[in-house]
Structure 1
């Protein structure tokens, strides 16, 4: 299993709309709204790293109102 956390900066006021869109994406497990440098954090669990990459590149980053992302890939799960 491949796991990643994606930090997202959104367009101003678009957080709630994006939460609903993100929750509808396959392999997205959790979406949280944040205060601070980033607006949202998303946890993704995919069967392998290739599907994880496609979920981020083809689904999340292509959403309207996503300004930027920072992806942190989990390398060890204890």
Structure 2
């Protein structure tokens, strides 16, 4: 099995509320609690045409963070 890097992102409620508003969706307390209940795995396949760009951008951020961690350990 191919090894893969896991990237974790945390979003605060204000950011999620803004996204819900832009998506014309109500962020109810029930939905917010459900979202908090377990990690959400992001299926890159849903990005279709932008998938490669998304993967490259996230990879660049992961590389930058990895390099910073290496520098801090020196």
Instruction: Judge same fold: TM > 0.5, yes or no.
Output: no
Name whichever structure is richer in strand by fraction.
Answer: 1
Name whichever structure is richer in helix by fraction.
Answer: 2
Query: Normalising to structure 2: TM-score of the pair?
Result: 0.29
Query: Normalising to structure 1: TM-score of the pair?
Result: 0.28
Larger Rg: 2
RCO comparison, higher one (Cα < 8 Å, 6+): 1
